[in-house]
Amino acid sequence: MSAFDTVIRGGTVVDGTGGAPFLADVGITAGRIAAIGPDLARGANEIDARGRIVTPGFVDLHTHYDGQVTWDNRLSPSSYHGVTTAVIGNCGVGFAPCRGDVASRDAMVRLMEGVEDIPHPVLTEGLPWTWETFPEYLDFLASRSYDMDIAAYVPHAPLRVYVMGQRGADREAATPADIAEMCRLLEQALDLGALGIATSRSLFHRSSDGKAIPTYQAAQAELLAFAEVLRAKGKGVFQIVEDIHVPGANLGAMCELARASGRPLTFSIGTGNTGPYGYPRLLDELAAANAEGLVMKGQLMPRGIGMILGFELTLNPFYTTATFARLSALPLPQRLEQLRRPEIRAAILSEQVDPDPALVLGRAVRDFEHMFLLGDEPDYEQPPERSIAGRAKAAGVSPEEFAYDVMVAGENGGLLYLAMANYADGSLDAVGEILSHPDVVLGLGDGGAHVGTICDASYSTFALTHWARDRQRGRKTVADMVHRMTQATARLIGLDDRGELAVGKRADINVIDLDRLSLGTPQVCHDLPAGGRRLIQRATGYDLTMIAGEIVARQGEPTGALPGRLIRAA
């Protein structure tokens, strides 16, 4: 009789604590780690991990699989990158609670479409709407199985609209009765396993009809009431998106929430591409808050927050021009055929961006100084001379001409990468500084969202290849990068049964060939409901990913095992 169900033999254990890696075997029994050490007894299943690193599965704090979990069992693209636990409900958007009438459901769909770029037809066809309340939504998710575990915040925007109706959608001030009812529903959700509450007060979060998210400018008193619920229950996390990047912004309001709740608070942090830069001051404030005894953690995308642009995708530098708008509804082959005509090219290049101030993206996607060709082996840190602006200058053409010609090349058109943020002064040096802060974890991959614009759910693979292996200036250790995606993230949200390779912990494990680990080029596929389009990025070098002792992927391909379930937080 074998001593273990499985033994992962002879790998370099990077245990998630941040401690130095070490050679050892890992024995697994009944979905848990039973032993770690040299020369363990044989298992019924033996896995050769010599020359590989063995890590905990990655715990991704910031995803938007709120819709995908209702129609899909495989939560790609995150599942291609070693993620074994994903948190949904971020940014205060989601699909529960929601009244059962068509107008209420459509409002939530349009909010998710606008904030997270998930097309309306995809959500309309894909969502089964077998729930109204948040507990009913959790029950539905609990009836399904996945290739990773999922946990859910209560999203503030649906909660507000559910209680306040149109007043909530119109961002009117909540009355004491409104706040009391929202708090009652939050308390109920926490009792039934919600991870906490998530909200956004960001100007950039808008419905597809242009309206600001219902929680934008929500009064501090409203959020403090939620904080008091977390304190009273003694559980739950507060996730928040604030416009802390604007001049004069600080962490004061979030510190007040953390003090009131006595619970962990996590928020998005990063930097703009040009100065003056506010992140050094914010990091000092973050350190002071944690020194005070608060638990506040910034979530950082470890590369530029990037948009993928192309004539097949949601955005491109010309999407607000009159001529492109006229052609945008054509099927891709016909669209490209038209775009390749010299007179169409000349017309689009001569037209101005729509001056509507609401279309700020129409101007942002013409930032050719921070726009790049990724290449077959994606390079996310290129010098300014390799930007579209730099390449165009060297070629003696305008950046608009250069970008246009790239995007009409090939059978399906070429793609461009725009570093919208985190690319300060043409490098990732500022990201490296933020990443060195003890109160910063990795996140913001937005898996399941921005399906036609962003493909950042691969950040875990990037962190290991770029920061821990390839980059020399400001290089990080493998142990630190793994820690910030495993133990640090799991403990922040109270999941103490995972995120660490230790006896008794869940056997959520990656076996990775770090030397061979690499990112693929983002690809467009049409596998969403209603034939919806999305960006997918795969990786090479993950020998296997295991959840509770079951192998869910080998060499990047799913095995068919679906041991993942809804986690109801304690």
Residue 216: name the closest of 225, 197, 198, 203 by CA.
203
pLDDT tens digits, residue range 216-234? 989 999 999 999 999 999 9
Q: What is the DSSP string of 272-318?
A: -SSSS--HHHHHHHHHHHHHTT--EEEEE-SS-EEEEE-TTSS--TT
pLDDT tens digits, residue range 419-469? 999 999 999 999 999 999 999 999 999 999 989 999 999 999 999 999 999
Q: 64-73, 107-116, 300-309, 322-331: which range is least confident on average?
A: 107-116
Question: What is the distance in angstroms between the CA of the first residue and the CA of the last residue of the chain?
Answer: 36
What residues have CB less than 8 Å from 150, skipping those under 6 apart? 65, 69, 75, 85, 86, 87, 88, 141, 564, 565, 566, 567
Which tokens is 460 given? 């875990």
- Report yes or no: 282 and 244 within 8 Å, Cβ to Cβ: yes
pLDDT tens digits, residue range 503-529? 999 999 999 999 999 999 999 999 999
Which tokens is 551 given? 């192998």
Q: How far apart are CA 36 and CA 154, in angstroms?
A: 37
pLDDT on residue 561: 98
How many helices (DSSP H) and strands (DSSP E) are in the chain?
Answer: 20, 25
What residues have CB less than 8 Å from 334, skipping those under 6 apart? none
Q: What is the DSSP string of 79-109?
A: GGGTEEEEEE-GGG--S-S--SSHHHHHHHH
**Residue 120's CB: how many other CB atoms inside 10 A?**
16
pLDDT tens digits, residue range 124-178? 999 999 999 999 999 999 999 999 999 999 999 999 999 999 999 999 999 999 9
pLDDT on residue 363: 78
Residue 132 — left, alpha, or beta (φ > 0 → left; ψ -120 to 50 → alpha)? alpha
pLDDT on residue 357: 47
pLDDT tens digits, residue range 36-64? 999 999 999 999 999 999 999 999 999 99
The backbone torsions φ and ψ at residue 498, rounded to the nearest 5 degrees and listed phi first, read -145, 180
Provide the residue ranges of all domains of the chain, joining segments of one domain with +. Answer: 58-304+428-456, 307-421
Which one is the CATH code of 58-304+428-456: 1.10.3720.10, 3.40.50.1370, 3.20.20.60, 3.20.20.140? Answer: 3.20.20.140
- Report yes or no: 237 and 265 within 8 Å, Cβ to Cβ: yes
Query: 447 to each of 80, 136, 491, 563, 566, how far by Cα in Å?
Result: 11, 23, 21, 20, 17
> 542 by DSSP, 3-state: which?
strand
| Whole-model pTM over 0.85 | yes
Cis peptide before 97 (omega within 30 of 0): yes
Amino acid in position 285: E
